[in-house]
Amino acid sequence: MAELIGVESPEPLPPRAQRQRTNWRHRLGVAVLVLVAGSVLLFVMRSPPAPNLDRLPASTRGALYQRVLADLELCATPAGGDFGDHCRHQAELAQHFPECDAVCRELASRWVGQPTR
């Protein structure tokens, strides 16, 4: 009918099987994109921001570091297992101090990366 009034007919539609393959690929691409975006979002949301310890006065930061280190030393004892969440938190915090030396890193490594409840 379009030819009767001088209008060119549109391109013929591809076969149904090809349209279904194209739709499947499109859906798979969208699903992969959603999964990747969701994974990145979860990672960003679960990663707490690093504390800005440089803003603290040196004396305050030094006192806080000594307290965190003392807590990690307590965590290294048999009684430390009763304070797992606190010990994990202190271990993560200790690693952000510029003062954290080899002893500090060793104490912290026992707790960092352990599963939480």
Residues 25 and 18 sit within 8 Å (Cβ to Cβ): no
Tell me the pLDDT band of 50, cut-offs 50, 70 and 90.
low
Whether the CB-CB separation of 94 and 107 falls below 8 Å is answered with yes
Taking the C-alpha atoms of residue 10 and residue 75, their distance in angstroms, rounded to an integer, is 75
Cα gap 65→11, rounded to integer Å: 73
Which residues are within 8 A (CB) of 55 and not within 5 positions of it... i.e. 6 or more apart? Answer: none
| pLDDT score at 7 | 60
Q: CA dist 25 to 9, 13, 19, 20, 36, Å? A: 28, 18, 10, 9, 16
Q: What is the predicted pLDDT for the residue at 52? A: 79
Q: What share of the chain is helix, strand, coil (3-state, %, to 5)?
A: 65, 0, 35
Average pLDDT value for residue range 36-56:
68
Quickly state the pLDDT bin for 28 (edges 50, 70, 90): confident
Instruction: Dump pLDDT digits (tens) for 53-68.
Output: 888 898 999 999 999 9
pLDDT of residue 90: 93
The pLDDT value given to residue 54: 81
Q: pTM above 0.75?
A: no
pLDDT band of 35, cuts 50, 70, 90: confident
Q: Name, of 31-40, 41-50, 55-64, the range with top average pLDDT.
A: 55-64
Cβ count near 63 (within 10 Å): 12
One-letter amino acid identity for 12? P
